[in-house]
Structure 1
Amino acid sequence: MARTKTYKSNVKAAIHETAQGLLEAGLIDKHTMRRFDQSCLTPVRKFTADEIRALREREQVSQTVFAMYLNVTKDSVSQWERGDKRPAGPACKLLSIVAEKGLSAIA
């Protein structure tokens, strides 16, 4: 299964796709491709418990509904909001997208 990349804009998506083709053709190196990744892809950031709660409340959904959108358990969302645990990996990426574009972006 191919991973879906989330870009900052359609223009950056086109630039990144072109750079990927250049990499595959051997015209640019991996270091240059990493720079394209950093400039084109949506950055992932760490969220505090208060930021996660505020994000969920901004979207006006319950912990259960928020968990369904993120494909995690309600208990995970609860633990994140209490600060007992921190989201990692794909959950952080999804939270970053929701923070920037809203819950409808991952619906």
Structure 2
Amino acid sequence: MPKNSAMSRLSEALVETADGMLRVGIMDEETHRRITARHIPESERAIEIPVPSGEDIRAMREKANLSQAVFARRLNLTPGYISQLERGVKKPSGPALVLLNLIRKRGIDAIS
């Protein structure tokens, strides 16, 4: 039997056991996530990154006491794009989305 097949069956059994333990309440969600994350194929992993609204983005910028131009420069974006995000014309994606979520969690100094 090839090693990959054995690991695949072992991983499936581990995930199934962890799922059962979570279901009956003897394992918390964080522990379940840590145990199963490495055993779930990468193609099945879902990463959910919350998308801040235009109002959220404006609030983050104002909390940092920055103009749109300075905020844009800190994020390596254009002031026009920041304006579009704040007005809700566009939704952030890619690296901009990741940076905005980092600012939301840790403040503007997190990207300095």
Which residue of structure 2 aligns with residue 96 of structure 1?
Answer: 101
Which residue of structure 2 aligns with residue 47 of structure 1?
Answer: 52
Number of residue pairs the alignment of both structures matches: 77
**What residue identity is the alignment partner of 2:81?**
S
TM-score, normalised relative to structure 2:
0.59
Where structure 2 has 5 or more consecutive residues not aligned to the other structure, the ranges are 1-33
| SS of equivalent residue, structure 1 residue 84 | coil
Tell me: higher relative CO, structure 1 or 2? Use CA pairs within 8 A at least 6 residues apart.
Answer: 1
Q: CA RMSD in A?
A: 2.7
Q: Indicate yes or no: 2:57 matched with 1:84.
A: no
Deviating beyond 2 angstroms after TM superposition, the runs of 4 or more aligned structure 1 residues are: none
| Alignment equivalent of 1:62, drawn from 63, 67, 81 | 67
| Alignment equivalent of 1:73, drawn from 75, 78, 86 | 78
TM-score, normalised relative to structure 1:
0.61
Identity %: 38
Greater share of helix residues, 1 or 2? 2
**What residue identity is the alignment partner of 1:106?**
I
